[in-house]
Amino acid sequence: MWKHNIKLTLRNFQRNKTSFLINLIGLSTGLACALLIYLWVNDEMGMDKFHDRDNQLYQVMLNLDFKEGMKTSDRTPVPLAEALVKEIPEVETAISVNDFFNWRSDGGILSHNDQQVKVDGIHSSEDFFKVFTFPLIEGTKDNVLNNKNGIVISESLAINFFKTTENVVGKKLDWTHRGYEGTFQVAGVFQDPPKNSTIQFDVVFHLQLLKDNDQWAGNWTGNYAQTYLILNKNADVNQVNQKIDNFLAAKNENLTYHQLFIQQYSSKYLNNKFENGEIAGGRITYVRLFSLIALFILLIASVNFMNLSTARASLRMKEIGIKRTIGASRSNLMIRLLGESILLSFLALIIAVVIVLFFLPQFNDITGKQLNLSVNTYLISSFLIITFVTGFIAGIYPAFYLSGFKPSSVLKGKLNISFGEKWIRKGLVVFQFTLSLIFIVGLLVIDQQIKLTQTKNMGYDRDNIISFQWKEKLYDAWSGLSEVNNNDLFFTFLDELKKVQGVVHATNMKGNILTNVYGQGGVRWSDDESQESANVKSPIVGFDFMKTLGIELINGRTFSKEYQDDYSKLIINESAAKMMGFENPVGQKIRMNGNDEIIGVVKDFHYGSLYNNIEPLIFRFDPNSGHVLVKIQKGTELATIGKIDQLYQKFHQMHPFEFSFMDEDYQAIYESETRVADLSKYFSGLAILISCLGLFGLAMFTTERRKKEIGIRKVLGSSVFGIVRMLTSDFTKTVILAICISIPISYLIAQKWLENFAYNITLTWWLFFIPAILVLIIAWLTVGLQTVKAASVNPVQSLKDE
């Protein structure tokens, strides 16, 4: 029977080439989209899942209960790991991991003889390789990190330095970094972290080195480390959370507003957004969004099959009638009809795989991934299941519908198309076009919002500004700046930098004004002790910061050498002035680090991204900060950067000059939106293409069926235009209905998405009108070509056929 069914199906395809091709193209493009999205979703879902004890591997998260709201961070005190193992019975193992962030640069230089390699390093407690599964090629996980003079290096590094991973234990490597330097012995070699690992590192140092070189690192009050745990197999996460909630408050009286909770490590990649101290989505939103898009695209393609199969039912009547008469049961026929759509799906899969192979490089570009079609049983079975389900969904309604015909009436050639069936078919077309329209509106809204983020006046100028990191020694008040240590070299560099031809201004800061604005708690601005202190964003900047970024000073002055400004001088923004209730803020004393004085007020400007509102901001002053920002004269970028590079190299023997443009860094904040917008362009285009294919098929079939009617009408005097209008009006009504349905739905979705931004575009009428007109025109073109052709046929021909 199978053979019979497959043979019959293939012959059917051959006989009805147009509808076969329409279905095949629709299903294969739909499947290709779905498979690409599947690869991406699968990759996202698989991040960090490879650790052997994934189910028991948790990360400790810290909630900071500020007056302005709860902030969640993954940085925790270094002593926490050890204390948790001792005091919480459910915790089997715990480690502290620090990624050198306190020295504002994880990158250091490892060298062997003359060979130097820039590497990313981390510090960790001894059980690192027991908690995480980064297999060791040399060394054992029990003791590879038990000596602070030993380091564990990656396979690539070992091969880079020694051309082999064998017998490298004991060999010496020199380490150069702003934090500390020294010679270390290789204690082990680990396999390079796989691509689906969030943590990427080349070398692991003993945690003790961090404590030795940063006097604050070992304290309970310094959040220097990420803490990872292995829980007992039967541990109850809720109970653990209860036990550790106020763990820090018990350790230090200053930490009363610090609360801890744990999150499964592998779930953190997708659930990385926190609101009010609780997980509130994150990348998972995009995973869900794209899964939904894949589903919808497949549905749109399936609808084509449903519509064409049921519309062309009359062509199948005879086969069905005869088979039923000679004894085929309804289920026999359903299997036969379902088999047809499933077989078609599998044919489409072959083409889809070719399409996927062809577009994968571009898709990787857009998504920033390295997806590939590596043949494995999991991937193959997933593809097969997706294909089977698609075929099943596409075929189930036609199978049900066609097999239900009464043999007595189909053999007479009578097929009563009920009102309901016509509506189902129309409903399916409406469904397709509604989805396509929602895609297009979504695309326009995302596009407009991204444009807004790019063009909105942020209150500062990010054009022609480059930033880079000073990587030589730099001391500050926390890391031993004293008479013994000084930053003279750095200041000389800054002075010379300002003299470089083409450099307009130069300044320096800690952190990053786009993505990493420092904050400080405990800020008070009145003598009233009962006033609650506030946590205020407070970037630490050097001289000329306002000038370099073009931030407008509206009152007072900026930091200046002339006045011998120090850490006690502050500049605030308008919002901060408002928050503090100062009419004349300049000269006011507030308490931040002691007794501090406001020396200036700047106009509010939009730091960070448009996701957030402008908050009160206090500029602190410290010239000893290593993040350098340079404003370059327009038109001289290339030459000036070349000169800065030369200057930088004079001061850095080991480190290459690595810089970025501030406007590009700014765009990178909206990376995920830009990616979504790029992807939406393709997917909405495809959705429209597939929908139109279906419409094309339906139009073709309808005109074919009404050939005689067209002939009679023409004989009776109808013009070509009159016939085209008659034939297209039905489709026009369908598309207009889809437009009416899609507008409120897309409005609500767009509105919801825009709520994510503190500053967003207004949803104007044309965002909905343009897609509507566009789709209508495309639909007219699709149907119109067919109908004009049909209407132009000499009626003698069409009537003679009868």
Partner 1 sequence: MIIRTKSLNKVYRTDEVQTTALNDLSIEINQGEFVSIMGPSGCGKSTLMNILGMIDSPSSGEYFFMENEVGGLSERKRSDVRKNNLGFVFQSFNLIDELTVFENVELPMMYTKVPSAERKKRTEALLEEMNMMHRRNHFPQQLSGGQQQRVAVARAIVNNPKLILADEPTGNLDSANGDDVMKILADLNSKGTTIVMVTHSQYCAEFGNRIIRLLDGQVVTENVVRQFL
By C-beta, is 73 or 329 nearer to partner 1? 329
E strands in 614-747: 618-621, 627-632, 659-661
Virtual torsion, Cα 84, 86, 90, 93, nearest 10 deg = 70
Site size toward partner 1 (CB under 8 A) is 25
4 forms part of the interface with partner 1 (CB under 8 A): yes
> What tokens does 572 get?
């605030």
Told to check if 1 binds partner 1 by CB under 8 A, we report: yes
Question: Quick one: which of 54, 82, 319, 730 contacts partner 1 (CB under 8 A)?
Answer: 319
Please, which of residues 139-168 interact with partner 1 by CB under 8 A? none
List the structure tokens of 140.
């054992």
Of 389 and 415, which has the nearer Cβ to partner 1?
Answer: 415
CB nearer partner 1, residue 158 or residue 333 = 333
Interacting positions 406-435 with partner 1 (CB under 8 A): 406-408, 411-412
Round to whole Å and give the CA distance between 45 and 386.
Answer: 17
Nearer to partner 1, 7 or 86 (CB): 7
- Give the x/- contact pattern for partner 1 in 323-362, rule: CB under 8 A: xxxxxxxx-x------------------------------
**How are beta strands 107-112 and 69-73 bridged, if at all?**
unpaired
Q: Smallest distance, Å, CB 314 to partner 1?
A: 13
C-beta closer to partner 1: residue 408 or 613: 408
Rounded least distance, CB 393 to partner 1, Å: 25
Q: Which phi-psi region, left, alpha or beta, contains residue 69 (left: φ > 0; alpha: ψ -120 to 50)?
A: left
Contact assessment for residue 339 and residue 347, using Cβ atoms and an 8 Å cutoff:
no
Question: In the structure encoding, which two tokens stand for residue 256, read together?
Answer: 């009363």
Neighbours of 236 (CB within 10 A): 11
What minimum distance in Å lies between the beta carbon of 9 and partner 1? 9
Closer residue to partner 1, CB minimum distance, 322 or 781: 322
332: helix, strand or coil = helix
Return the structure tokens found at 716: 């009776």
Using CB atoms within 10 Å of the CB of residue 78, give its burial: 0 to 12 exposed, 13 to 18 middle, 19+ buried: buried
**Shortest distance, position 418 Cβ to partner 1, whole Å:** 12
Q: Provide, rounded to whole angstroms, the least separation between the CB of residue 340 and partner 1.
A: 11
Least spacing, CB of residue 705 vs partner 1, in Å: 18
633 touches partner 1 by CB under 8 A: no
675 binds partner 1 (CB under 8 A): no
Task: Give the C-alpha separation, 570 to 586, whole Å.
Answer: 9
Render the burial of 111-138: b for 16+ CB within 10 Å, e for the rest.
Answer: ebeeebbebbbbbbbbbbbbbbbbebeb
Reported residue count of the chain is 802
- Cβ proximity to partner 1: between 271 and 332 the closer is 332
In angstroms, give the least distance from the CB of 410 to partner 1. Answer: 10
- Closest CB to partner 1 among 8 and 669? 8
Backbone angles phi, psi at 569, to 5 degrees: -100, 140
327 or 594: whose CB is closer to partner 1? 327
Q: Using the structure block, give the residue that is written with the tokens 């043999």.
A: 407
* 521: its two tokens: 């708690």
CB of 339: closest distance to partner 1 in angstroms? 14
Residues 10-29 that bind partner 1 (CB under 8 A): 11-12, 15
Contact range with partner 1 by CB under 8 A, out of 7-15, 54-62, 240-248, 592-600 = 7-15
Tell me, what amino acid is at 237? V
Give the nearer residue to partner 1 in terms of CB position, either 43 or 421: 421
* In the complex, minimum distance from the CB of residue 319 to partner 1, in angstroms, rounded to a whole number: 5
What is the amino acid identity at position 40?
W
- The letter for the amino acid at 702 is T
Quick one: which of 288, 318, 414, 650 contacts partner 1 (CB under 8 A)? 318
| Pairing, β 569-573 against β 618-621 | antiparallel
Binding site for partner 1 (CB under 8 A): 1, 4, 7-8, 11-12, 15, 318-319, 321-330, 332, 406-408, 411-412
